[in-house]
Amino acid sequence: MAFQKEMQTFPEAPGGESRVWDLLSQVMDPEIPALNVIEMGIVRRVDVEASGLTVTITPTYSGCPAMDMISREIVQALRQAGYAQVKIKTTYAPPWTSDWLTSEARRKLVESGIAPPPPVGAPEDLPVACPYCAATETELRSFFGCTACKSMHFCNACRQPFESFKSI
């Protein structure tokens, strides 16, 4: 949670970090296009120097196929905004956790028909609430959804299938 607080209170500086964070908030996650890379907790740090920008990112999990596309889209967005020198730095420590999803991200997941993950360490037998009707009479249909970070569920109350973002 300290990461989210750090992200929300990033200091204003003459180097333009605030503008860069605003631009990054327009880069959407290709697997969950309702969320941007800031809300996902993927962007860890921005360094603005005379020689250019360095954006430090953390993959949601090792081997995530979306990270190459996310890196390219970050570079493209910043170059289109006039930053000629943009470097992406990837860090794996500390590893990304679904607890880094912002409250806004969790709200947008539900609006998109995806159940947000429970907090890391929550009991695995907690019922998954349906994002359509909020009922907890749901069942796991497949441990994997359309991406490895989601699973497929079915709501017995409203009869809707839905995905649930896994707790990582």
For the stretch 35-81, pLDDT in tens is 999 999 999 999 998 889 999 999 998 778 889 999 999 999 999 99
- Residue 85 shares a structural domain with residue 15: yes
Q: How many domains does the chain have?
A: 2
Structure tokens at 161: 């299938």
pLDDT of residue 7: 39
59 in a structural domain: yes
Sheet with strand 43-49: strands edge to edge: 43-49, 52-57, 86-90
The pLDDT assigned to 4 comes to 40
Give the model's confidence band at 146: pLDDT under 50 very low, under 70 low, under 90 confident, else very high: confident
Whether residues 63 and 13 fall in one domain: yes
Q: Residue 91: which domain range?
A: 2-99
Is 104 within the bounds of a domain? no
CA dihedral 144→89→76→29, nearest 10 degrees, is 20
Give the pTM: 0.83
